[in-house]
Amino acid sequence: MTALTQETIQNALKDYIDPYLQKDLVSAKCIKNIAIADNKVTLDIELGFPCQSHQTSLIDTIKSKINALDGTADVSVTLHHRIARSHRAKAAWVNPLLRSIWHSHSWQKAQPSGF
């Protein structure tokens, strides 16, 4: 029986290739906050896209991979998504001059012709 560590959990999860990311969740840095206490494992999965369509199957797969490890009694997985703003939008909010250009340009495109 091997000790249950963050490393053993990450190694178990490396076998799962996400169909949307085309890579495992560990190398994609989607696995966050692995905690082990009294044979109970809790972890967060953070995806960069909305994941409602395959949320339950993903959680079930992750739970089964961790439950297959020796010494695991209970597994809790929290899944959420975080969508980052584009570089253009970030730059516009950081620099006031870019923000004013961004808004004036957007306003001109939104006006109907003949204005």
Q: Could you tell me if residue 73 is inside a domain?
A: yes
pLDDT band at residue 32 under the 50/70/90 scheme: very high
Q: Could you tell me if residue 1 is inside a domain?
A: no
Judge whether 81 and 18 are in contact, CB under 8 Å. Answer: no
Q: Which domain holds residue 97?
A: 86-115
pTM to 2 decimals?
A: 0.66
Integer angstrom CA distances of residue 6 from 10, 45, 92, 103: 6, 14, 40, 47
Which one has a higher pLDDT value, 12 or 84?
12
Q: Tell me: do 96 and 73 sit in the same domain.
A: no
CB atoms within 10 A of CB 97: 8
Contacting residues for 55 by C-beta, under 8 A, at least 6 apart: 79
Q: What is the pLDDT of residue 2?
A: 64
40-99 confidence digits (pLDDT tens): 999 999 988 887 788 888 899 999 999 888 877 789 898 888 776 665 555 555 566 666
